[in-house]
Structure 1
Amino acid sequence: MDEFTSEELLEQLQQLDEQPRIEAKRASEIGKSVMQTICAFANEPGLGGGYLLLGIDEPSSVHESFTVCGVTDADTLLNTLQGNCREQFESPICVKGQVELLDGKKVIRLFVPELAPSAKPCTFKGKFDSKNKRKTGIWRRGLNGDYECSQQELEPLLLAKSGTSYEQIQLADAHWDDLDLSVIALYRTLRSKVRPYAEELQASDAEMLYALNLVRKQQDEWVPNVAGLLLMGKPLALRRLLPSVRVDYVRINGTKWVEDPEHRFATTLDLREPLLRLIPKLEATITDDLPRHFRLKEGDTQRSDEPLLPHKVIREAVVNAVMHRDYQVNQPILVVRYSNRIEIRNAGYSLKPEATLGDMGSKLRNPLIASVLYDLNFAETKGSGIRTMRRLLKQSGLAAPVFVSKVIENEFVATYLLHQLLGEEQLNWLTQFSHLHLTDDEAKALLLTREIGAIDNAGLRAITGLDTLSASQVLGRLHHQYHLIEQGGASSATYYQLAPQLQNDDQLPLFSGEAEASSEPNTSDLGTDTSDLGTDTSDLGTDTSDLNPATDTDLPEKLSQKIEQLTPKARRDKLWPVIVWLCALRPYKAEELATQLSRKETHLKHSHLNVLREQEKLIDYLYPEVINHPSQAYKTTDKGTNWLKHQGIEIE
């Protein structure tokens, strides 16, 4: 991380929408909160460490922004802090601290480096408790600050420490019979087309997969690892061993995730196949669902109907999602086809910084899977795929893709607009703001907000190349100075939508290509393979047709009794079943839950809802794709429903 002065850090705290790498505290003494933040910065993968600024008051009813309060006896505090970093952790942390003057008051600026994988996890001495699964003594950085991670959240750190990636793990119930012999034969066919005399093709199936590092011998049996199952496993084996490894393809009429609760999705398709079959199948699904353009190339005598997105762009988009996905996260890949764009969401932030996406060279989360896909020419080598996509889209007259990598949320979102962002229709719409003399970056921000419904700092950086602070200033001008967008959410989850007077404006005409399409999108296949979606759509949201607030009389009698019995200081074992039960009946907004349970919304979210969602996985967002959606609510997950059953609660 670049060196920042205390003044620069304070400026970012006051102006930026997201500060996952900066934490400010009053810190009249070096207590638990300060040390937990240091532990979290040192542990969080991909964050690159973070800054701690001591002597700063957080926003309050008195001050709307961060203000300098200063620290007394700064040298003593800094010495205490340095000593704690040497003595309180199992392995010392080397932090860089300095006392500086800010607004005439002394503050402490501290940089905490991210530890190398071999040195993680950073843990407090004597805190690990194998009996209490919730107490690990290991802190990580989350959307809402620091939190003590669970045993499950500890696993990625331990795997990285051992030098083992998740794809190399052999699952307990995996066997050679879980591999599909026809897919192994498919690999041989595809590989022979690229390199007919490849060495591994001369070996037996088991020896070939061993050479590819996809199987290992246990006793007398060759057993596939996770990579082997993902690439060549039988669909039923994938369902049994890796139930969340699938792709959910969703077709929506319109430009918003939910426009008509009665008709949530126009088309849904569940794809659960080994990657060697999944990639071409998903590519074909996307291609067949795109409008086609009439083209007659120079020298040709026959017309050709080509999809709006070039074939190679679709291939790269699909391969990037499956190759760089974090398979340890139980979250299917989500492909959403809107009328004006395609969005692909997969777990796993980019290991390359956003600013270097498209540069030569790549960092691989799943090197075994990547190696096989490279050998079969599914993937571009040397990290050139994104650069190729940008070039092809430009040649086709389309907008560059928008890539947003979210480290804290551990998610990567790729958006492909199906028209030029600054096309004729869009420029005509912008003429109504000509008197404001918007800059190019402000115009792009406004148009992208209109196209996809919302924009955040990361999304604006993706289409403009601005740095974080500059992007925040652009959004700030559109919000505070021109009043063209409105802010939603807070801190790291801030987003912006068009102001109400612009939201009521007619939607931009669909890109001209859709009107000129030579034929309707071919979706004949999409109705034939959706049997799973009736029972396994937890990640796609729930029916919102009854999202209107329920009254107390609508609740089951036993639930109403439990709510009445809650005391102001009710413990989690009393409160959590009520929350999960309520969210199992229908999606509940945070403010609705706070009213129903007579709690303060802020405390309820921080101490209960965030823990139930992020750590326990008993509830989830109704709109996971836009965390601070204006209609955001919580719904109970399948795990939450099963948990209620163990509590003796059956949901009718």
Structure 2
Amino acid sequence: MIEFTPEQLLAQLRELDECPRIEAKRGSDIGSSVMQSICAFANEPGLGGGYLLLGVNEPDETHDTFSVCGVNHSDQLLNTLQTNCRDQFEQPIPVQAQAHQLEGKRVLVVFVPELEPAAKPCTFKGKFDSKNKRKSGVWRRGLNGDYECSQLELEPLLLAKNGLGFEQVLLPDAHWDDLDPHAIELYRTLRSKVRPHAEELQASDSEMLQCLNLVKKRQGEWVPNIAGLLLLGKPLALRRLLPAMRVDYVRVAGTQWVEDPQQRFDITLDLREPLLTLIPKLEATILDDLPKHFRLEEGKTQRDDQPLLPQKVIREAVVNAVMHRDYQVNQPIIVVRFSNRLEIRNAGYSLKPEAMLGEMGSILRNPVLASVLYDVSFAETKGSGIRTMRRLLDQVGLTAPVFMSQVIQNQFLATYLLHQLMGEEQLAWLKQFAHFTLNNDEAKALILAKETGAVDNAGLRAITGLDTLAASQVLGRLHHQYQLLVKGGAGPSTYYELSAPHELPLFAAASDEGPRSNAGDPVANTGDLDANTGDLDANTGDLDANTGDLPSDLLARIDQLTPKARRNNLWPVILWLCAMRPYKTEQLAKTLNRRENALKASHLNIMREQEGLIGYAYPEVPNHPEQAYQTTEKGRQWLAARGIELND
């Protein structure tokens, strides 16, 4: 169903640079590019379909933003579109398409519904080696457009089609001996505390695990599936079979991700063990590392020190991360403890829309894991966990958690602030902007940028309840009109940082009077959390487009670049620059006299994602405020093959 007008779709593209659910194309014909996008929108899980806006140009060398070019013969294009959607795929896709006037020109709006899991994957017909069918004939939506799935990337769609999840897969080298007898016994102990006479406890180990759907028979032997290994596997078996299935706990000094690799972390801890022991161990690690506050309850004479975040909140946060993680992605869960917040990042977007987080009812990515964790009272399966966290944090005077679910990136980030978002100190810090007469949403955006180093559309939506377009307009005013925020990144990775003149301290210095003991006030004494980050701030002054230190041969190549330089001329320069030191997108654009959006879309994304010639300086945090590109070993070999030798 078409829910947006052409004006609204174009406004979203211009405000957001790029939207996962909207694709703009010239639309001169209904060729392979259009049909690949239709295939991708129909296949992409959790996206809810998407829109094609035909007759609109993407930003290029002559346009800073999306521009309307219009289409000719709209009736013919609509007929061709419907014919292609019936004939080019293994099964027809019921697209909805209409012609409209937009800025005085004719455009086509096409809505592509997401197919039901049983109907996926949408596959192109025909033989392999055609434009649309080089690997699998199945296209999906990626960070920077559409891509054809490999057989490995196709597996989630096939599992969902059969009603299975990745947690039920049997790995080729898995055996019964990979299960830890102590973990199996621990399950029996924990389960008996919840329900002493549970039927499965009366069975043998193999029968019990079969009942829990954790093992299956293969060639006469009981073999654990991935869920069984995650819950009950030996640490060495987990390292051998699932090397990325671990949790990294990181303690960072200050409020920002440290740039200096020699001073990157205060504490690091890698946890790789069965989930039944990992969950309580990670929970205890977080609680032990949190600042404490104390209460003197009425009628008692001794103080009671408690962690700033309630234990129940930490348990829910940890269980949510391990229970809803996408285990097909080889990326550890990362828990980062900053001085002012706790961040938990895991692969796997929320299957529930962000607006519905906290409402009753769960949608489970890993139902087998969830069932076992529910059996031992580690988890709830009624969708009330987030509501419980919000209630408990409100009771102790803390801000509700900020959740960011990124469908295309397949990431979920939960942020727990260790103070009120709009507390007294934050309000005092905001007074410097009083002459702007900021509204409440604008003030929250600035505070979030200060607290976490950057604010993006999803983060602002999480703390304000605004929709995507309204949040973008707030950030746009702070950037364009007030110049309080500086824009970085592009497309889905767009973020905003505070402008340099407003880098003022947020936390007050510790009081000489020591901690206050107001029994009725649960607010933490965070004076001891003030980070001395003077030696940790990123020195980016040498990252501006200062070409004075570049080799003469490289400078000559830069001078020879034309406004429409092709890859064979531009790519060697980019790789040479990024081999000398990491470069941000805006720094490359300034050095090469290019537009950021065009440079990223036409070159940087391709060099990183498809060719592997460059990589992120902070691969573990794609939206890092200081994200930059650096040349990979493959990129260095690519240069060497073209006669460019680098002096390391």
Pair 1:224-2:224 in alignment: yes
Cα pair distance change 1:499/1:590, threshold 3 Å? closer
Equivalent in the alignment of 1:627: 622
In 2, the alpha carbon distance for the partners of 1:63 and 1:607 equals 14
2:508 corresponds to which letter in structure 1?
A: P
Q: CA-to-partner distance for each residue in 1:165-213, whole Å, 9 max, x for gaps?
A: 1000000000000000000000000000000001100001110000000
Does the aligned pair in 1 maintain the 2:497–2:625 contact within 8 Å? Answer: no
In 2, the alpha carbon distance for the partners of 1:379 and 1:605 equals 42
2:58 corresponds to which letter in structure 1?
A: E
Q: CA-to-partner distance for each residue in 1:215-252, whole Å, 9 max, x for gaps?
A: 01112211000000000000000000000000111100
2:146 corresponds to which letter in structure 1?
A: D
Q: CA-to-partner distance for each residue in 1:323-344, whole Å, 9 max, x for gaps?
A: 0000000000010000000100
Deviation at 1:597, TM superposition (A): 12
Pair 1:436-2:444 in alignment: no
SS in 2 for 1:100: strand
**Pairs within 5 Å for 1:72-83:** 72-83=72-83
**Pairs within 5 Å for 1:303-322:** 303-322=303-322
**Pairs within 5 Å for 1:71-150:** 71-128=71-128, 135-150=135-150
Equivalent in the alignment of 1:347: 347
Equivalent in the alignment of 2:508: 509
Deviation at 1:600, TM superposition (A): 10
Does the aligned pair in 2 maintain the 1:291–1:520 contact within 8 Å? Answer: no
Provide TM-score, normalisation by structure 2: 0.85
Equivalent in the alignment of 2:328: 328
Deviation at 1:570, TM superposition (A): 8.1
Q: CA-to-partner distance for each residue in 1:431-461, whole Å, 9 max, x for gaps?
A: 1222222111111111111110100000000
Equivalent in the alignment of 1:497: 497
**Pairs within 5 Å for 1:244-283:** 244-283=244-283
Cα pair distance change 1:229/1:592, threshold 3 Å? same
SS in 2 for 1:137: coil
Equivalent in the alignment of 2:555: none
1:270 corresponds to which letter in structure 2?
A: D
1:633 corresponds to which letter in structure 2?
A: A
**Pairs within 5 Å for 1:498-537:** 498-503=498-503, 505-509=504-508
Q: Show structure 1 runs of 5+ residues with no match.
A: 523-543, 556-567
Deviation at 1:11, TM superposition (A): 2.1
In 1, the alpha carbon distance for the partners of 2:225 and 2:361 equals 27
Bigger mean CA deviation after superposition, 152-161 or 283-292: 152-161
**Pairs within 5 Å for 1:15-94:** 15-94=15-94
SS in 2 for 1:449: helix
Q: CA-to-partner distance for each residue in 1:497-532, whole Å, 9 max, x for gaps?
A: 1011112x234337999977789999xxxxxxxxxx
Deviation at 1:545, TM superposition (A): 11
Equivalent in the alignment of 1:485: 485
Bigger mean CA deviation after superposition, 6-15 or 222-231: 6-15
SS in 1 for 2:213: coil
Does the aligned pair in 1 maintain the 2:490–2:597 contact within 8 Å? Answer: no
In 1, the alpha carbon distance for the partners of 2:16 and 2:617 equals 26
In 2, the alpha carbon distance for the partners of 1:244 and 1:312 equals 27
User: Cα RMSD between the aligned structures?
Assistant: 4.1
Pair 1:393-2:388 in alignment: no
SS in 1 for 2:39: helix
Deviation at 1:129, TM superposition (A): 5.9
SS in 2 for 1:336: strand
In 1, the alpha carbon distance for the partners of 2:607 and 2:240 equals 26
Does the aligned pair in 1 maintain the 2:18–2:492 contact within 8 Å? Answer: yes
In 2, the alpha carbon distance for the partners of 1:330 and 1:636 equals 23
Q: CA-to-partner distance for each residue in 1:354-393, whole Å, 9 max, x for gaps?
A: 0000000010000000000111111123010000000000
Deviation at 1:127, TM superposition (A): 4.9
Deviation at 1:55, TM superposition (A): 1.7
Deviation at 1:493, TM superposition (A): 1.4
In 1, the alpha carbon distance for the partners of 2:330 and 2:145 equals 22
Does the aligned pair in 2 maintain the 1:347–1:412 contact within 8 Å? Answer: yes
Q: CA-to-partner distance for each residue in 1:141-166, whole Å, 9 max, x for gaps?
A: 11211222323222222222222210
Q: Show structure 2 runs of 5+ residues with no match.
A: 517-523, 530-537, 552-564, 640-644
Deviation at 1:58, TM superposition (A): 2.8
1:289 corresponds to which letter in structure 2?
A: D
Equivalent in the alignment of 2:519: none
Deviation at 1:277, TM superposition (A): 0.5
Deviation at 1:115, TM superposition (A): 1.2
In 2, the alpha carbon distance for the partners of 1:234 and 1:401 equals 34
Pair 1:452-2:452 in alignment: yes
Bigger mean CA deviation after superposition, 326-335 or 80-89: 80-89
Equivalent in the alignment of 2:302: 302
**Pairs within 5 Å for 1:146-225:** 146-225=146-225
SS in 2 for 1:383: coil
Deviation at 1:298, TM superposition (A): 2.2
In 2, the alpha carbon distance for the partners of 1:188 and 1:641 equals 55
Q: Percent identity?
A: 70
Provide TM-score, normalisation by structure 1: 0.85
Equivalent in the alignment of 1:3: 3
Does the aligned pair in 1 maintain the 2:59–2:66 contact within 8 Å? Answer: yes
Does the aligned pair in 1 maintain the 2:457–2:471 contact within 8 Å? Answer: yes
Does the aligned pair in 1 maintain the 2:310–2:393 contact within 8 Å? Answer: yes
In 2, the alpha carbon distance for the partners of 1:460 and 1:468 equals 9
Cα pair distance change 1:551/1:234, threshold 3 Å? farther
Does the aligned pair in 2 maintain the 1:333–1:346 contact within 8 Å? Answer: yes
Deviation at 1:552, TM superposition (A): 14
In 2, the alpha carbon distance for the partners of 1:155 and 1:611 equals 24
SS in 1 for 2:24: strand
Equivalent in the alignment of 1:468: 468
Deviation at 1:620, TM superposition (A): 4.5
Q: CA-to-partner distance for each residue in 1:32-81, whole Å, 9 max, x for gaps?
A: 22111111111111111011111223334544333333222111110011
2:178 corresponds to which letter in structure 1?
A: D
2:49 corresponds to which letter in structure 1?
A: G
Q: CA-to-partner distance for each residue in 1:476-504, whole Å, 9 max, x for gaps?
A: 1111221111111122211101011112x
Cα pair distance change 1:580/1:511, threshold 3 Å? farther
Cα pair distance change 1:236/1:129, threshold 3 Å? farther
